[in-house]
Amino acid sequence: MSARLKDKTAIITGAGSGIGNAIATLFAREGAHVALLDLTLETTEELAASLKKTGQRSLACAADVTHPEQIEKAVRKIEATFGHIDILVNSAGLNVFRDPLALTGDEWQHCMNVNLQGPYNLIRSVLPGMLKRQYGNIVNVASVHGHKIIPGAFPYPVAKHGLIGLTRSLGVEYASQGIRINSISPGLIMTPAAEEWLASCPDPQAERQKQQDLLPCKRIGEPDEVAYTALFLASDEARFINATDILIDGGRSQVYHD
């Protein structure tokens, strides 16, 4: 352990699985006190228990990112436990891919609530404490969909474009007050959701090979690779990086495809 986040307190949303889980695990290994936020405690209590066995401080919290009152309650609990919050990682997200004309108003709103309003709810809750201390690092997990449009993925890219815009706007807004806000944009990463999607394809192995072949590096990304980028941005090593987005897609978005 290099302790790049020694004695820092970090909230990670969507910590129950996939990218959020990988980020929480890595942050704890690097010395952070981690608050694991997800919809239910069932998804985070096991990770919290395993971290505590190794002497790392962690707290499992249940809250829906679309409900500001739940977020406020969770943040107050985290502050009472750890004293203050240094880092926020907004990793919770939801894939909503629909035909634009078939998309219902409720589906549109749910996509925006989880992927855009949710991160904003968390930011609003932690900002007062960060501003008081004149220190804070926020990392939003956006998507390659926020850079390149893939047919059949509407309205998810709309929300992710918005999240990158939120990152840049708030990053500039609070830059002079010790707050850094950045985002990362993963491409195809082998999360449980990606595995489930591949399994649902008519020929899962053929689809996996197709996706690998689209990537210049000829392999699909892993959650840990996203986590290490989040770690860098959340650490003081990145203290002059603000209001920007880092693509983590193996170079795919730079190449034309049929």
CATH of the domain at 118: 3.40.50.720
Phi first, then psi, for residue 249 (nearest 5°) are -135, 20
- The mean per-residue pLDDT over the stretch 76-102 comes to 96
pLDDT band of residue 75 (cuts 50, 70, 90) is very high
Query: 48 in a domain, yes or no?
Result: yes
Query: 227 in a domain, yes or no?
Result: yes
Question: Of 135, 156, 174, 228, which one is the catalytic site residue?
Answer: 156
Between 166 and 253, the higher pLDDT residue: 166
pLDDT for 53? 85
pLDDT band of residue 111 (cuts 50, 70, 90) is very high
Query: 80 in a domain, yes or no?
Result: yes
Residue 155, preceding bond cis, omega within 30 degrees? yes
pLDDT (tens digit per residue) in 138-154? 999 999 999 999 999 99
pLDDT for 230? 98
pLDDT (tens digit per residue) in 212-242? 999 999 999 999 999 999 999 999 999 999 9
pLDDT for 2? 76
pLDDT for 129? 97
- The mean per-residue pLDDT over the stretch 124-137 comes to 98
pLDDT for 52? 87
Q: What is the domain count for the chain?
A: 1
What's the whole-model pTM score?
Answer: 0.96
Looking at residue 143, the DSSP 8-state letter turns out to be: -
Query: 196 in a domain, yes or no?
Result: no
Question: Which of 14, 12, 33 has the alpha carbon at shortest distance from 24?
Answer: 12
Buried-exposed string 212-251: b where 16+ CB fall within 10 A, e elsewhere: eebbeeeebbebeebbbbbbbbbbeebeeebbbbbbbbbe
Query: 199 in a domain, yes or no?
Result: no
pLDDT for 1? 58
pLDDT for 226? 98
List all residues 6 or more positions away from 157 whose beta carbon is below 8 Å from its beta carbon.
143, 145, 146, 149, 150
Task: Give yes or no for residue 201 having a pLDDT over 70.
Answer: yes
Question: Which of 120, 17, 122 has the alpha carbon at shortest distance from 78?
Answer: 122
Task: Give yes or no for residue 258 having a pLDDT over 90.
Answer: no
Tell me, yes or no, if 174 is annotated catalytic. Answer: no
Question: Which of 115, 126, 252, 134 has the alpha carbon at shortest distance from 183?
Answer: 115
Query: 118 in a domain, yes or no?
Result: yes
pLDDT band of residue 54 (cuts 50, 70, 90) is confident
Query: 177 in a domain, yes or no?
Result: yes
Parent domain of 116? 9-188+222-254
Query: 33 in a domain, yes or no?
Result: yes
Least confident of 11-25, 51-65, 128-142: 51-65
